[in-house]
Amino acid sequence: GVGARGLAVGDAWLRLARAGAGPAGLGFLLLLSPLRRPRRASSFVAASAQPPLPGQCPPPCECSEAARTVKCVNRNLTEVPADLPPYVRNLFLTGNQLAVLPAGAFSRLPPLAELAALNLSGSRLEEVRAGAFEHLPSLRQLDLSHNPLASLSPFAFSGSNASVSPPSPLVELILNHILPPDDDERHNRSFEGMVAAALRAGQALRGLRRLELTSNCFAYLPHDVLAQLPSLRHLDLRNNSLVSLTYVSFRNLTHLESLHLEDNALKALHNGTLAELQGLPQVRVFLDNNPWVCDCHMVDMVTWLKETEIVQGKAGLTCAFPEKMRNRVLLELNSSDLDCDPILPPSLQTSYVFLGIVLALIGAIFLLVLYLNRKGIKKWMHNIRDACRDHMEGYHYRYEINADPRLTNLSSNSDV
């Protein structure tokens, strides 16, 4: 206020000086003009000496403070930027070359206390180590999809020290298409077991509500993979290779609202699984595009489908095997239609035909070898016959001696 008043007074004197005539006005002008220039210079120096604003955007990223969003997309980054602004709530690090996510990868001073959504999809992550997401107290959504994860630490979500680390704040975890491209990695270590260990370690994800595990070629689910997820509401297992759910327990998922099992290899659901699903109060189950085998093992499932209301689109479920039942609607089947005839799928029939052809070739080769060596085999058989004849003649001679009483007494009274 004082500065503004001073400038106003100076402007008034300047106007008076300009309005005045003669040397007096000029003298006033020359006297007042140097008084104003230092004020402008000093204000410029003060402005240039101010420190830079905190939380400026990293060079390879795009930031929006109003939207609390930072995007570092397709920048070929090999590590997480160190100078992320503390206001960030939504962080996109997609399409980079991160490879390894070490412990404390997002630890900062000041901390990223407001970061709620983190997207790391398509960043070629091969290893996520223990404690990689520590010091993110507000993290709710994490997307690790489309990364060739060969190593996912059991403590990736629980912290480097699971015994003292607080539970993870995660509510939504997306792990779609994280299968390593190298088949050797898959065979050397159970991929399903690796993911299950990270999901159940230390009860870190007990607040998780959504879990997506699509397109991972899971052939089975470990029996305790869902044991530490009591708050789960949405489970997505689409586009895997699940053959059965016999060893998976859904009993403790009392809040489960949707279960997606489309595009798997399920042949039938058995009594234990049916009873657990029916016991969940508000679940909706999706079972489309599975190769259902309509034989005697399907009786319980067909009966259950006719009575339950939790299966969405159940009128569209059809049989895939056997051939005579193909495309039959499950809800239209009766128990008399479901038998266990020894009718094999065409693929299995083809396998048996191929096996028969191989065995026939082996037999033909064996007969050919016998034919080419017929003379030697005939001589060998004659030798065996002569040896057997000599052996039998010796037995016959001893029998005649033992049967003749005269020769018996002679042999017993002889001193020789």
Confidence band of 162 (pLDDT split at 50, 70, 90): low
Total Cβ atoms within 10 A of residue 335: 11
- 348 C-beta neighbours (distance < 10 Å), count: 11
Higher-confidence residue: 242 or 51? 242
Return the pLDDT at 195.
92
Predicted confidence at residue 191, as pLDDT, reads 87
pLDDT for 273 beyond 90: yes
Structure confidence at residue 369 as a pLDDT band (50, 70, 90): confident
Rounding to the nearest 10 degrees, give the CA dihedral for residues 379, 382, 387, 391: 170
User: Whole-angstrom Cα distance, residue 25 to residue 17?
Assistant: 4
- For residue 41, the model assigns a pLDDT of 37
Report DSSP letters for 60-83, one per residue.
TSEEETTTTEEE--SS--SS--S-
Report domain extents, the chain: 347-387
Give yes or no for residue 53 having a pLDDT over 60: no
Q: How far is C-alpha 408 from the chain's CA centre?
A: 90
Give the whole-number percent of the chain exceeding pLDDT 70.
76
pLDDT of 391 reads: 76
Quote the CA–CA distance of 100 and 82 in Å, as a whole number. Answer: 15
- Average confidence (pLDDT) over 134-140: 94
**pLDDT surpassing 80 at residue 117:** yes
The answer on pLDDT for 46 being more than 50 is no
Q: Which residue has the higher pLDDT, 308 or 407?
A: 308
Q: Which of 257, 251, 345 is nearest to 294 (CA)?
A: 345
pLDDT classification of 413: cutoffs 50, 70, 90: low
Q: What is the mean pLDDT of residues 129-133?
A: 93
pLDDT in tens, 327-355: 999 999 998 889 886 555 556 556 778 88
H or E segment and range at residue 286: strand 284-286
Q: What is the rounded distance in angstroms from the CA atom of residue 254 to the CA atom of residue 230?
A: 7
Cβ atoms of residues 227 and 206 within 8 Å? no
Residue 363 has pLDDT above 80, yes or no: yes
151 in Cβ contact with 182 (< 8 Å): no
Statement: residue 38 has pLDDT above 70: no
Asked if residue 252 lies in contact with residue 226, where contact means CB atoms within 8 angstroms, the answer is yes
Could you tell me the pLDDT band of residue 316, with boundaries at 50, 70 and 90? very high
Distance between CA atoms of 243 and 362, rounded to whole angstroms? 35
| Residue 90 confidence (pLDDT) | 98
Residue 19: is its pLDDT beyond 50? no
Q: Where are the beta strands (DSSP E) in 125-247?
A: 127-128, 141-143, 151-152, 172-174, 210-212, 234-236
| pLDDT for the residue numbered 341 | 60
Q: Worst-scoring range by mean pLDDT, 73-87, 140-154, 178-192, 362-376?
A: 178-192
Q: Looking at 59-143, which runs of residues are DSSP E strands?
A: 62-64, 69-71, 90-92, 100-101, 117-119, 127-128, 141-143
Paired with 114 in beta bridges are none
**pLDDT for position 18:** 43
- What was the pLDDT predicted at 347? 60
Those residues with Cβ within 8 angstroms of residue 402's Cβ, 6 or more apart along the chain or in another chain: 408
Provide the pLDDT confidence category of residue 307 given band limits of 50, 70 and 90: very high
The answer to whether the beta carbons of residues 127 and 103 sit under 8 Å apart is no
**78 close to 97: Cβ distance less than 8 angstroms:** yes
